[in-house]
Structure 1
Amino acid sequence: MNLIKTFLFMILCTLFLSACGKTDNTSTSNSSKKEEIAENKEKLNVKITLNKKIKDNKKILISGKSNLPKETKINIYLDAPSSDQSDLAKVIVKEGGMFNYEFSNEEGEDFDGGKYIAYVETSPENLQTDHVKEIFGEDGANLAGSNVSGENSRVATAELNFKINNSSKVKQKSKKDNAAEVTNKKDEELSTLKSEAEYEIESIVEDNYKTASIEEIEINEDMGSEKPNKLIALVHLSFDAKNSARTSYNMVEMYSDDLAAKIGSENDTVNQIAVFWKVPYIDKHETLAKFSYERSGEHMIITDKVSSLR
């Protein structure tokens, strides 16, 4: 009888240890899966561009365009040359990544002349809505790109430097000074348009062409246009998939046509676009294809195609 009891006790112990082992393995497996999911969480390559508009030296409108999700909470700081403290505005990102805030002095006083800095920073992840938290990741771990900084708590930032002329001196300017100011204003406007065009081309490529990468984007003024502030885009891309020369040509032609069509409809300042392709699997150094387009109304039409892939 004792032997039977001892045998039954040993069987129960064995079953108990086996169950514990399974529980430990399941726990370890679940933990590994969670870590793998966290590692594979899609990164948000943050892009933010800032613009300003000064109204009679009494109001400063800071506006921004980004790929941040709707309802992202951000802080906009304005540093003035005559103050040791920054003006702070808390705003919410709208549909399409847009945001803005208009700064003004008390009692409608003019802003002092001098150099100003507008600085934008996303609020920490723990202050965001649940939807935004999920995209940002814990402590902003999913945020990436040149606009992102911080180690333990990552945030997205952008900065804009500009100058306000002292209003009391504006009336005393000579014709030469006024002409110089007009030129500077045009240069500033053109620079903003170039930045916006580059941002839009980057977004189209990164969001739509998974087997392509950007090497360089150059935006120049279209000096041959009769209209002001028209642009020429020179886009240098790399087709990174391993394919035959013929298949590579078909893919880069399709990507180029699609890019021209999208930028043609989304940005009417771009008059011409040329897309240059390298195909490292075929040749690491040489440009193997070029497609040129020019505007025709609201669309882009192909004007030239050259390739050694066919």
Structure 2
Amino acid sequence: MNLIKTFFLLILCTCTLFITACGKAENTSTSDSSKKEESIKTKEKLNVKITLNKKIKDNKKILISGKSNLPKETKINIYLDAPNSDQSELAKGIVKEGGMFDYQFSNEEGEDFDGGKYIAYVETLPENLQTDHVKEIFGEDGANLAGSNVSGENGRVATAEINFKIKNSSKVKQKSKKDNAAEVTKKKDKELSTLKSEAEYEIESIVEDNYKTASIEKIEINQDMSTDQDNKLIALVYLSFDFKNSAQTSYNMVEMFSDDLASKIGTDNNTINQIAVFWKVPYIDEDEILAKFSYERSGEQMIITDKVSSLR
């Protein structure tokens, strides 16, 4: 009888240990799963941090530098504003390795900057104008961006600013009518410069994202002087078709790419009135432009106005 009692006692202890071990395993599994889910959620958001610094060199140059946790190749605009002056400038930049970026502002002909208060302002370009790598991190319309440096609901961007003064400058004079006219012109130039920058980024993005056998030689954005409408542009896009093929096939490809680029620009950017696409084909001729396609706006579309090529 004692042997039987001992036997049942051993069985009972074994079952208790087994149930306890199962419970711990289940809890551990649940905990690990929760931690994994929490980790994934954390990676979905980028809590943006941007710190700006300035360095003034003899009142002739202003170096704006920044440190951030933005991904490499993030495209940014850097503004320099003097609230008490008509001085205002815009530059485009790109984030380097380690989240660093910088730009040096200087006046024409080496003139001094006027004394007074200045603001340097940095803003990331919208997600749709970034490279594929940055787009993935930013999320659609910048939905993955978070933190005090981020603003906007649809089309979220990260910003930062720094305020500073420049000393030992000439006193501010009363503005004459001529000064006011100059200020208006300066503001218009700034607005036009911004539109040019955005148009260039947009064309770059379309080419890099869609035409893998092509590369960009250069892009020129000019004001359209043939119209009395403000802020209308002409885009001159110089591309290279880098995939070795016959002349006829090369022509067919560059014509298709040009038509597609013009169509996308016509829909996405209503500031561009005309676009001309120039093509080099290095394996046929390294130096000469072998094809040109010209388009002009008609409503929300671009229509072909001219095509010239020596490839056919």
Which bin holds the TM-score, normalised by the shorter protein? 0.5 to 0.7
Q: In the TM superposition, what whole-angstrom CA distance separates every residue of 1:60-81 from its partner, at most 9, and x where no partner exists?
A: 975431523222568xxxxxxx
CA distance in 2 between counterparts of 1:224 and 1:248 reads 33
Give the letter for the 1:64 counterpart: T
Q: 1:91 aligns with which of 150, 154, 171?
A: 150
Match of residue 210 from structure 1: 212
Residue 62 to residue 55, structure 1, CA distance change in 2 (3 Å): farther
CA distance in 2 between counterparts of 1:264 and 1:208 reads 16
Match of residue 76 from structure 2: 48
Residue 201 to residue 94, structure 1, CA distance change in 2 (3 Å): farther
Q: 2:187 aligns with which of 155, 167, 185?
A: 185
Q: Secondary structure at the match of 2:125?
A: strand
Query: Which ranges in structure 2 are unaligned for 5 or more consecutive residues?
Result: 1-70, 85-116, 139-143
Residue 113 to residue 190, structure 1, CA distance change in 2 (3 Å): farther
**Root mean square deviation of aligned Cα:** 3.5
Match of residue 231 from structure 2: 229
Q: How high is the TM-score relative to the length of structure 2?
A: 0.54
CA distance in 1 between counterparts of 2:83 and 2:157 reads 18
CA distance in 2 between counterparts of 1:55 and 1:100 reads 22
CA distance in 1 between counterparts of 2:72 and 2:212 reads 15
Q: 2:125 aligns with which of 65, 76, 79?
A: 65
Task: For 1:1-150, list aligned pairs within 5 A.
Answer: 45-50=73-78, 63-66=123-126, 67=130, 68=134, 69-70=137-138, 71-72=144-145, 90-91=149-150, 98-101=156-159
Q: C-alpha displacement at 1:245, in angstroms?
A: 0.4
| Contact in 2 for aligned 1:49/1:196 (Cα 8 Å) | no
Residue 44 to residue 260, structure 1, CA distance change in 2 (3 Å): farther
Match of residue 274 from structure 2: 272
| Contact in 1 for aligned 2:145/2:157 (Cα 8 Å) | no
Match of residue 253 from structure 2: 251
Q: C-alpha displacement at 1:224, in angstroms?
A: 0.7
Q: In the TM superposition, what whole-angstrom CA distance separates every residue of 1:226-279 from its partner, at most 9, and x where no partner exists?
A: 201110000000000010001000000000000001111111111000000000
CA distance in 1 between counterparts of 2:305 and 2:210 reads 23
| Contact in 2 for aligned 1:91/1:99 (Cα 8 Å) | yes
| Number of aligned residue pairs | 195
Q: C-alpha displacement at 1:94, in angstroms?
A: 7.3
Residue 262 to residue 283, structure 1, CA distance change in 2 (3 Å): same
CA distance in 2 between counterparts of 1:207 and 1:304 reads 26
Give the letter for the 1:90 counterpart: N
CA distance in 2 between counterparts of 1:303 and 1:181 reads 38
Q: C-alpha displacement at 1:47, in angstroms?
A: 2.5
CA distance in 1 between counterparts of 2:77 and 2:206 reads 16
| Contact in 2 for aligned 1:54/1:61 (Cα 8 Å) | no
Q: How high is the TM-score relative to the length of structure 1?
A: 0.54
CA distance in 1 between counterparts of 2:248 and 2:216 reads 21
Match of residue 199 from structure 1: 201
CA distance in 2 between counterparts of 1:60 and 1:279 reads 43
Give the letter for the 2:224 counterpart: D
Give the letter for the 1:301 counterpart: I
Residue 201 to residue 175, structure 1, CA distance change in 2 (3 Å): same
Give the letter for the 2:288 counterpart: E
CA distance in 1 between counterparts of 2:120 and 2:153 reads 20
Q: In the TM superposition, what whole-angstrom CA distance separates every residue of 1:209-233 from its partner, at most 9, and x where no partner exists?
A: 0000000101111011120111000
CA distance in 2 between counterparts of 1:182 and 1:101 reads 26
